[in-house]
Structure 1
Amino acid sequence: MKLIEATEKDIPLIQDLARRSWENAYADILSGEQMEYMLSEMYSAAEIGSHFQHMDYHYYLIQDENTGSYEGFIGYQHHYEEGTTKLHRIYLVPESKGKGFGKGALQFLNEKVSENDDRRIILNVNKYNAARNFYESQGYRVYDEGTFDVGRGFVMDDYLMEFLIHK
């Protein structure tokens, strides 16, 4: 596995990987209408492009070194809160799950967070998304929950999870 820092030229690839992942991960959780709305809002070229303008926001592409194929991506923001990095996005295409890419990406994130003097990683995960089990297997724990308005009458019902980095 190789993590490659993404640039604005990679926005179409990030959009494609997000769509492929979401169509699998959220098929039984979100309506097709909500999924299309959220993908169009959260993964528009303008939205992703704005992230690249923020010095603490980073995207990395997850590549299979054996095949050269892109298996997913990770997007995170250092100093989201004092001492805290927020994992905004980590998505893998369905055929790459169970191959260690997610675990490797989280280990990579832990290193990046440590290098930037944050001591905590937070993320939101939909209450009905099986990814919660994966995060818990990697040492994350639920510390709260929330319902978030994402527009057009749609909401996300999430667990808020954290991982504490011990230096």
Structure 2
Amino acid sequence: MKGSGFSLFLIITSMKLIKATENDIPLIQDLARRSWGNAYADILSGEQMDYMLSKMYSEAEIGSHLRNADYHYYMIQDENNGSYEGFIGYQHHYEEQTTKLHRIYLVPESKGKGFGKQALKFLNGKVSENGDQRIILTVNKHNTARNFYESQGYTVYGEGVFDIGGGFVMDDYLMEFLIHK
């Protein structure tokens, strides 16, 4: 725009998804803590976050996932600077012809760069390759991530309150995405 004093810069963000191994467990735990502190600070108590992180992201829990042939973790790496920005964890054949997206988390400073959208497109491809036709997930009813999922074609098909122990519950929407072949 000549003479307006306005400049437009386009930043191309490129990411790489790297299959996680047991050596990546400390990195997954760190990324989970960093992303949860931002995503759930206004939704869950500190006690519930600590409880859930200690249960869901223990070395034993993640290790058991990584040893399950249907469960996959991928690290989300920013190819521009080599930093790890988050991760995705999903399980094929969770139900008949259904993959469950258990986890997709990005650190706060990486949000809005397209990593989440690219990770979901990657997941769609992996689901199609493995013969499933549906992706399901749960999202806290107060988490704005619901809007992100809806923008990517996911729809709410139910809701549930799940007792997770320790006197805590998860109050979630159940969402799905149908793979069109």
Task: Give the TM-score band, short-chain normalised.
Answer: over 0.9
TM-score normalised per structure 1: 1.00
SS of match in other structure, 2:91: strand
- CA displacement 1:7-63 (0-9 Å, x = unmatched): 000000000000000000000000000000000000000000000111000000000
| Pairing of 1:43-122 with structure 2 (within 5 A) | 43-122=57-136
Give, in whole Å, the separation in 2 of the partners of 1:65 and 1:78.
Answer: 27
Give, in whole Å, the separation in 2 of the partners of 1:46 and 1:56.
Answer: 17
Paired letter, 1:164: L
> Of the two, which has the highest radius of gyration?
2
SS of match in other structure, 2:150: helix
User: How many percent of aligned residue pairs carry the same amino acid?
Assistant: 84
1:19 is the counterpart of 2:33:
yes
Paired letter, 1:154: F
SS of match in other structure, 2:23: helix
SS of match in other structure, 2:170: strand
Residue in 2 that maps onto 1:164: 178
Give, in whole Å, the separation in 1 of the partners of 2:78 and 2:61.
Answer: 27
SS of match in other structure, 1:55: coil
Pick from 138, 162, 166: which aligns with 2:152? 138
Q: Gapped runs of 5+ residues in structure 2?
A: 1-14
Give, in whole Å, the separation in 2 of the partners of 1:61 and 1:152.
Answer: 30
Q: Gapped runs of 5+ residues in structure 1?
A: none
Q: Which runs of 4+ in 1 moved over 6 A?
A: none
Residue in 2 that maps onto 1:9: 23
Residue in 2 that maps onto 1:127: 141
Aligned length: 167
Paired letter, 2:133: R
Residue in 1 that maps onto 2:163: 149
Pick from 50, 59, 74: which aligns with 1:36? 50
TM-score normalised per structure 2: 0.92
